[in-house]
Amino acid sequence: MIREPELKENERVDDLERNGYRIIQNPDRFCFGMDAVLLAGFAAAKETDRILDLGTGTGIIPILMEARYKATLLTGLEIQEESADMARRSVALNNLSDKIEIVTGDIKEADALFTAASFDVITSNPPYMIGQHGLTNPQSAKAIARHEIECTFDDVARVTGKLLKPGGKFYLVHRPFRLAEIFATLQKYKLEPKRMRLVYPFVDKEPNMVLIEAVRGGNSRMTVEKPLIIYDAPNVYNPEIRSIYGY
């Protein structure tokens, strides 16, 4: 029997096409994008791993990680209570409350909320844009999700370096124009980049996303994987993208 969700104003339920899972979203706030789906597909985890998602939004990455890897110990940290509330209701909607915990809190204080070196895997789809330039409402949900208003990438890397177990893995998605800064910041906190994949909208366009795996205390050697192409033609997904989405 399908459980009917509790919806608030302007909310909707979207089908994730994975395990019959659904997610509650509000288009007026922020809806997950392809970057979150690609990150969950790029990451890896064992069933027994303890996983933390920093800036979880409405909980999309923990839900997809449970669906893909059957993980049983997942936590999502989200500073915006309205988003965290939607995430909790989505977790309950999918009968995952015994596996996924949503915590309301600030990424900058995550090392005070959780025990040091207690996670095997940490994921993050952090804000891509620097600062608040050009924003008419810096405190809007969409602005906080896209711009470094509540935290910077340095904050994300710093707490990740504290919360990951030695040898633990950090998976993130970001923008290629910040790669030099990203690598320098990761290494600053002893998070060694080990695997990278650039994502291209079309084969003849510049990449617009980058997927990175870093290891706490890892050796200095990185694999650059083949490019991931999103579209073979306008509105026609590449077969690998279709596979990641579960089509």
Q: Where are the domains of the chain?
A: 32-245
The predicted structure's pLDDT at residue 227: 97
Q: Are 157 and 188 contacting, i.e. CB atoms less than 8 angstroms apart? A: yes
Q: Are strands 236-237 and 231-233 parallel, antiparallel or unpaired?
A: antiparallel
Give CA angle at 57 (87, 127), nearest 5°. Answer: 175
Asked whether 94 and 21 are in contact (CB, 8 A), the reply is: yes
Return the biggest CA–CA distance within the chain: 51
Question: Does 3.40.50.150 match the CATH number of domain 32-245?
Answer: yes
Q: Which two tokens stand for residue 1?
A: 């029997």
* Of 164, 148, 197, nearest in space to 35 by CA: 197
pLDDT of residue 142: 53
Q: H-helix or E-strand containing 210?
A: strand 209-216
Angle of helix 60-69 relative to helix 34-42, nearest 10 degrees, comes to: 40
Type and span of the H or E element at 193: strand 191-200
Q: What is the pLDDT of residues 201-234, one digit of tens each?
A: 999 999 999 999 999 999 999 999 999 999 999 9
pLDDT at res. 29: 83
CA 160 to CA 229: how far, in whole Å? 29
pLDDT at 3: 60
Q: Which comes out higher in pLDDT, residue 3 or 214?
A: 214
Phi/psi of residue 43, nearest 5 degrees: -70, 170
Amino acid found at 87: A
Using the predicted structure, report yes or no on whether residue 2 has a pLDDT greater than 80. Answer: no
Encode pLDDT of 102-160 as tens digits.
999 999 999 999 999 999 999 999 886 676 555 444 555 554 455 455 789 999 999 99
| Span 18-56, pLDDT tens digits | 889 999 999 888 889 999 999 999 999 999 999 999 999
Mean pLDDT of 76-104: 96
Q: Enter the pTM of the model.
A: 0.92
Q: Is 13 helix (H, G, I), strand (E, B) or coil?
A: strand
Question: What is the predicted pLDDT for the residue at 95?
Answer: 95
pLDDT of residue 52: 98
Encoded tokens for 8: 């608030």
